């Protein structure tokens, strides 16, 4: 796992420009919020996720995440059908802060257009993108 200025960046994930991550498991993508985003947001107190069976489109706002003083948007990094949501995160949104890349995943989507993954950041490109985001938002 890579780390950049204290933010974890797992090598096996793809990253969306709106601070979502995607882990590809066959024709399914597991979606979550990046370590950078959850640290910037602070203690997450509420989350609204898309519903199972919902069709989502790449770059579409599909939910919200809230802290005591801030509300952010959850984006779909790829298009497809939501096949599962993480009910544990709905009940205990702090799991996102505690474990953004494992227990804190948000939803799973059956990919309708796998080529959309090519538009996401991965590896060295993800680190370069995050470096720019840190400069813009965390200084």
At 18, is the pLDDT very low, low, confident or very high (cuts 50, 70, 90)? Answer: very high
User: Where is 128: in which H helix or E strand?
Assistant: helix 124-137
Rounded Cα gap, residues 42 and 39, in angstroms: 5
CB-CB contact of 116 with 109 (8 Å): no
pLDDT of residue 9 exceeding 80, the answer is yes
Q: What is the pTM of this model?
A: 0.96
pLDDT of residue 139 exceeding 80, the answer is no
DSSP string, 5-20: TTEEE-TT-EE-TTSE
Q: Write the CA distances from 10 to 1, 4, 47, 97, 101, integer angstroms.
A: 4, 11, 23, 16, 8
Segment 75-107, tens digit of pLDDT: 999 999 999 999 999 999 999 999 999 999 999
Domains, the chain, in order of start with CATH, read: 2-130 (2.40.50.100)
């Amino acid at each position: 796992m890579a780390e950049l200025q204290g933010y974890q960046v797992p090598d096996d994930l793809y990253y969306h420009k709106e601070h979502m991550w995607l882990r590809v498991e066959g024709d399914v993508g597991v979606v979550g919020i990046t370590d950078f985003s959850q640290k910037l947001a602070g203690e997450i107190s509420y989350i609204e996720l898309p519903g199972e069976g919902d069709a989502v489109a790449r770059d579409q706002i599909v939910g919200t995440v809230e802290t005591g003083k801030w509300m952010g948007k959850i984006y779909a990094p790829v298009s497809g059908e939501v096949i599962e949501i993480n009910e544990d995160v709905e009940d205990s949104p702090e799991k996102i802060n505690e474990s953004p890349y494992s227990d804190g995943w948000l939803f799973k989507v059956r990919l309708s257009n796998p080529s959309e993954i090519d538009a996401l950041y991965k590896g060295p490109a993800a680190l370069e993108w995050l470096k720019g985001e840190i400069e813009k938002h965390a200084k």
